[in-house]
Amino acid sequence: MILRSADSSDLPFIKAMLFEAIFWDPKMKRPDTKQFLSQPEIAKLLANWGKAGDYAVIADESGSPVGAGWFRLGTEEEHSWGYVDEQTPELGLAVVSVWRSCGIGRKILQNLRESARQKGYKAISLSVAPENFALQLYQSEGFFKIGESGTSSTMLLHL
């Protein structure tokens, strides 16, 4: 497995991974992917991808993408569920279901942490449901709960 920086051609896969991050539980009823991702409140999460502050990494296995992680800065008006402030990028991460529990998510997360540090950010944030198995990964990498948004916890990692 290799990690590589994403480019504009990876946006469809990143969008697919956004869908996976939202519908992480295999027991969840999944809507049509294309229709769901085109909803304004979801489409805005990756709209105008490539603007200043955007960063994404792709995990490839034998030339096929198996996971992705990304971060971007939000604003008070436009942000995702893990929003803290305009100086703290919000992180998203997902791994294709058959590749979960293989250490790929941890490698992606470590890459995102180091990339955010190198870009001068002081912290990164995310949102995770308390029953999501990824919560243990985030906690083991130093994220801690700072609040709640809907049914999810907002977590922060100081860099």
In the chain, what are the domains? 2-158 (3.40.630.30)
pTM of the model: 0.88
pLDDT, tens digit, 9 for 90 and up, residues 61-71 = 998 999 999 99
Distance between CA 128 and CA 138 in Å, rounded? 9
Question: What is the predicted pLDDT for the residue at 78?
Answer: 74
pLDDT above 80 (res 32):
yes
